[in-house]
Amino acid sequence: MIEILNLALTGGMAAAAAPIIIHIAHRRKLQRVDWGAMRFLLEMLRQKRRSLTIEHLLLLLVRILALACLAFALTRPNLHLHGGLAGKDVIERSGKTAAVLLIDDGLSSAAGRTGPALDKVKALALAYLDTLKTGDEISIITQSRIGAAPADPIFDLSAARDQVAALQPSAVASDVPALLEAAISQLSRHLNPEAEVVLCSDGRGDGWHAEDRVRWEELRRRLAGEPDAVQGSRKRPHLVLLAPEAHAVDCNVAVTGIQVDRTLIPAGRQISVRVDIAHSGERAVTGALVRLLVNGRAVAERALDVQLGGKAEYAIPYTFPEPGSYVIEAVIEGARDVLALDDRRAISVQVEAHLPVLLVEGRSGNGLGGSLGLVSAALDPAADGKDLFSVTRVPLAALTDELLSGARVVVLGDLPALDAAGVAALEHFVVAGGGVLVGLGPDTNAELVNRSWSRGGDGFLPCNLLASVQPPTPLSPATAIYSHPALSAFTSKAADAWKSAQVRRYFHLDLGGDKAPDLLHVISLDNGDPLIIERPRGLGKVALVATSLDQSWCDLPLRPAFVPLIRGLMASLGGVVLPPRNLLPGNRLAWCPSGSVAEQNVSAEGPDGAAVALTSGAWEGRHALVSEPLLKPGTYQLRVGDPVSVIRYAVAIAPFASTLEPLSAHEITDALHELPLHRIESEARVKATFSLSENNNVELARWLVLACLGLLFFETILVRRQAAGERGASREAGMAA
């Protein structure tokens, strides 16, 4: 069978008609003239004309064939030979191969009793490389290097084998859609016509994310070869899954979570550290311990007690002696399970001495007076500046950029207006990571707020304001999201603390319907209207209270629930540390230097004590020192300045990454639907799948070019022979005349 690779160039075959057109256009037009002596030449000319006609037709045929061979060669035809044994489980290569080899070296590839599962994955990958031939091009993309700069394909199959053989398991989470997206992008760098995307995995289902239907829908479209999926005239790539048969593990225990019980952690006050443990498999764990470490020092331990296939939770109290950067780590010791990397998990926390809060009042006052007097008392009851919240209270006219730069949270209390400079400063403050709490009231001008603060949801305010309403009977706060960090001091029973509160007047809020999916209703009134909403803005967050933060419109500030509510909101809005210090494997460490610290006085080291290189870069548009992707879990330390202050980062594996459930056919079907997939589980089957393609294809282009050159040489001989014949005929005719 002959296959045309450049079908678009078949139109060039029309060039073969050019000699015919030229032959007809330049045909000699003879004018008949009667001449007595001519009758003696008629017989001789009749014989000569027959010979010349044959030579003309032969010359025309040679020219047609020469052009046809050249035009056909440009279409890159291949002669495909096979013995009729091909089937759905055989991939037939009809030309040079452009292979993208995807290797999932994620966390689950480290699991195994006698050795990591990655060893079997590498064996399948090497078996596939053995099916490639000289002239085939290969790209190798691993899960751990998915974010690295793309490299050009290589033709050195020996180097590709060495690259595969050197791979080691990593702690990154598997992400099959991300690997396939990288493969499709990489194919644009390949030149060979036969595309193959080969995914090598350990047969586990943790990285398939079949529930992510939007990503898979786009992937199916691109892998099916629809427009814009693959450059040039390349056909749909063959999709191959090389995965050994995976079995359920006999035993694995993992630290699946570690967290503290408050968003803002003060020094000298006891907190509770919660550690979550999960077990999978059929073998129990005995004699193991759960140990809690703070900055590498053991501070507590508990006997591991978890049921087969069950979960356990430990609450461990701890008090940080002084402010600073800490890493809390939970470690399972003595588990002897199949995956050691998930036996520990770390979290970075910042222990604060003070959280600076700026209160901006529409109506200024002292003590409990003014728009935010009760808020100030809730944050700093003794008014001595020694509380966790360091409060600065100013009237609207005193608001400056300098005050904003020194705050972590800004509270606006019933402001009648803000000038353009103040609005711009607050927007910049929020986008850069600050928190803002807005309380409304009788002096709030909804028209001005909507025009400059909200701008239809594009400003720093979460939404537009509608009219203020005064219900016939006062309303009470009724429902709340108790999992929200601002409500960490409350439980579902804490609603009783709000039942006695009365909201006499409040603003209806224009929530924007589906246009604001990130808007969160923290607390609602008993008629369903929102009382407190929150929305992220850039790197920060803004919370809006639909009523006043003083007694103008409600008596909530006089209720016991008001103090923990306001303190929780401040901790939630201002307790986020940026750039983030809790990272996943594959993320980069980032630190934004201040003007007083020279970059040469900053260094970093990893969990093993080895130095981590930092380069000048950017984080969220801000100048920063950034590292290469961090692949090893554990504690990373950044040493800043002289004298040295230490900032600690924690790299912890994704909780779902240690799921070791075998990949099912149902998960593959959910992800790929009807997209053809060749699944191969053994090295022998790899060779059988590609064996029919060896030496079965003959590229005809080079032979067609050689045939064209031969025909042109023959055409030259014919032209010379014809010219000589015509000169001889002319001499004979002259002699006869």
The residues, any chain, with a CB within 8 Å of residue 72's CB and separated by 6 or more, are 13, 700, 704
Q: Is the pLDDT of residue 641 over 70?
A: yes
Place of tokens 């751990």: 144
Distance of alpha carbon 737 from alpha carbon 735, whole angstroms: 5
Best CATH choice for the domain 355-574 from the list 3.40.800.20, 3.40.50.880, 3.20.20.120, 3.10.580.10: 3.40.50.880
In the chain, where the domains are located: 2-80+700-736, 97-248+660-695, 251-352, 355-574, 582-651
Q: Which fold has domain 251-352?
A: Immunoglobulin-like (2.60.40)
Q: To which residue do tokens 């290189």 refer?
A: 613
Q: What is the pLDDT of residues 499-533, one digit of tens each?
A: 789 999 999 999 876 667 789 999 999 999 999 99
Contacts of 40 (CB under 8 A, 6+ apart): 736
| pLDDT at residue 315 in the model | 96
Nearest to 561 by CA among 499, 475, 483, 473: 499
Residue 232, pLDDT > 50, answer no
DSSP letter assigned to residue 106 = S
Q: 575 or 48, which is more confident? A: 575
CATH of domain 97-248+660-695: 3.40.50.410
| Residue 385: pLDDT over 80 | no
- pLDDT averaged over the chain? 86
Beta bridge partners of 582: 650
pLDDT tens column, 715-727: 888 777 777 766 6
For residue 390, how many other CB atoms are within 10 A of its CB? 19
The answer to whether residues 574 and 539 touch, using CB atoms and an 8 Å cutoff, is no
Residue 615: predicted pLDDT: 94
pLDDT band at 230 (very low <50, low <70, confident <90, very high): very low
Average pLDDT over residues 239-255: 92
Give Cα separations from 524 to 411, 413, 560 (angstroms).
Answer: 20, 20, 18
Whether residue 530 is preceded by a cis peptide bond, meaning omega within 30 degrees of 0, is no
Average of per-residue pLDDT across 211-218:
91
Q: Going by C-beta distance under 8 Å and a sequence separation of 6 or more, which residues neighbour residue 519? A: 462, 463, 511, 512, 533, 534, 535
Q: Go through the chain and tell me how many residues it has.
A: 737
Least confident of 101-105, 303-307, 447-451, 733-737: 733-737
- pLDDT computed for residue 344 by the predictor: 95
Q: With contact defined as beta carbons under 8 Å apart, do 597 and 641 qualify? A: yes
Structural contact between residues 711 and 61, judged by C-beta atoms closer than 8 angstroms: no
Tokens of residue 219, six digits: 């992937």
Pair of tokens at residue 320:
């940080």
pLDDT above 90: residue 279: yes
Q: Which residue has the tokens 């006085």?
A: 601
Fold of the domain built from segment(s) 582-651: Immunoglobulin-like (2.60.40)
Span 676-725, pLDDT tens digits? 999 999 999 998 888 654 445 567 777 888 888 888 888 888 777 777 76
Average pLDDT over residues 420-424: 91
pLDDT for position 87: 47
| Average pLDDT, integer, range 411-428 | 92
Mapped to the 3 state alphabet, what secondary structure does 510-565 carry?
Answer: ECCHHHCCCCEEEEEECCCCEEEEEEEECCEEEEEECCCCCCCCECHHHCCCHHHH
Average pLDDT over residues 650-672: 91
Residue 289 has pLDDT above 50, yes or no: yes
Strand pairing category for 530-537 and 506-510: unpaired
Helix axes 18-25, 42-74, angle to 10 degrees: 150
| Same topology between domain 97-248+660-695 and domain 582-651 | no
Least confident range from 1-10, 154-163, 332-341: namely 1-10
The pLDDT of residue 589 is above 50: yes
What does the pLDDT read at residue 514?
Answer: 60
Query: How open is the CA angle 301-304-308, to the nearest 5 degrees?
Result: 165
- Per-residue three-class SS string for 380-439: CCCCCCCCCEEEEEEEHHHCCHHHHHCCCEEEEECCCCCCHHHHHHHHHHHHCCCEEEEE
Can you read off the two tokens belonging to residue 549? 């933060």
Per-residue pLDDT tens for 258-267? 999 888 999 9
Confidence check: pLDDT of 149 > 60? yes
Residue appearing with tokens 């060495």? 162
326/646 Cα distance (integer angstroms): 9
Strand 588-591 with 77-80, pairing: unpaired
Asked whether the predicted pLDDT for residue 574 surpasses 50, the reply is: yes
pLDDT tens digits, one per residue of 311-343 = 999 999 999 999 999 999 999 999 999 999 999
CA nearest 730: which of 194, 52, 33, 235? 52
pLDDT band, very low/low/confident/very high, at 178 (cuts 50, 70, 90): very high
